[in-house]
Amino acid sequence: MSKIPTFNLNDGNQIPAFGFGTFKIPADGSTKAAVATALRLGYRHIDTAAAYFNEQEVGQAIAESGIPRDQIWVTSKLWLQDYGFAAATTGIETSLRKIGVDDIDLYLLHQPYGDVPGAWQALEAAQKAGKIRSIGISNVTPKLWQKFVPDFAVKPAVNQSEFNPYFQQKPLRALMAATSTVLEAWAPLGQGDPELFQEPAITKLAAKYGKDAGQIILRFEYQSGVVVFPKSVHSARIASNQDIFDFALTDAEMASIVALDRGHGRHDPDAPGVAERLLNAFDVHAN
């Protein structure tokens, strides 16, 4: 798949290590245009979700790109409203229809609350039926991992969670290593946190390698074995974000960024009330 490296998943598939995120890009033509630009610039991994309300525009951009379907990795996610076996089975079919594809490369449980076991069984069945190639989870903390994952028949290929130099998920990654589950980063650039971009450890390396701070951060994450898919609607930024494969950080330079870890992020999936708030946050059936 293009020039972008891949990581091996525990199910035998290979996922592009770098992709394009579509969170909060509106479905008013903006998503279609941004994904079309990303594909034209060499991206081959697109991340969407039912709760982003833009699956259809992602599919349109892919269909009109002229790129063979088997060269584009598509990820989507099931929202909480559709948990439980029957509802999840319908939700998977809805994503397939909206994206306009026969199969989805990676499908995730977007949030770890409610009837997670039933929803996971639906993902397992869809994988067995060839409708999904790889299945995974998202926003799963060590506590939630221990609650659900040991009982899964098929272990998650991926866990998509908050990750950046300030929040490196060390306890979680230690658990995931036992099942060879790959971490995907959301907020890989710390949601544009100015403090992170001005860290001396990062700006020093940016000057050394002739890169910007964002590229140093993304390179650190790639070298940490983490899949990243930064989002942008600006062509120049879409192009520059993936320009991280022509240099490598040394072990000492990696260690200098590892030292920035604060051990916590902006979102705490274990916090009281999060499940209820998220369940009421979106009505994916209104789309």
Domains in the chain: boundaries: 13-263+272-286
- Identify the pLDDT of residue 286: 84
In this structure, the dihedral spanned by the alpha carbons of residues 125, 103, 162 and 261, taken in order and rounded to 10 degrees, is 100
For helices 30-40 and 55-64, angle between their N-to-C axes, nearest 10 degrees? 40
Question: What is the helix, strand, coil percentage profile of the chain, to 5?
Answer: 45, 15, 40
Single out the catalytic residue among 43, 52, 83, 107: 52
Percent of the chain topping pLDDT 90:
95
DSSP conformational letter for 189: T
pTM of the full predicted structure? 0.96
Percent of the chain topping pLDDT 70:
99
Q: Average pLDDT in the 233-241 region?
A: 93
* pLDDT band (50, 70, 90) for residue 287: low
Q: Average pLDDT in the 64-87 region?
A: 97
Does pLDDT of 1 surpass 80?
no
Judged on CB neighbours under 10 Å (0-12, 13-18, 19+), 212 is middle
Taking the C-alpha atoms of residue 200 and residue 152, their distance in angstroms, rounded to an integer, is: 43
Write the CATH number of the domain with boundaries 13-263+272-286: 3.20.20.100
- Identify the pLDDT of residue 208: 98
Does residue 113 have an active-site annotation?
Answer: no
Min mean pLDDT across 45-59, 255-269, 273-287 is at 273-287
Does pLDDT of 196 surpass 70?
yes
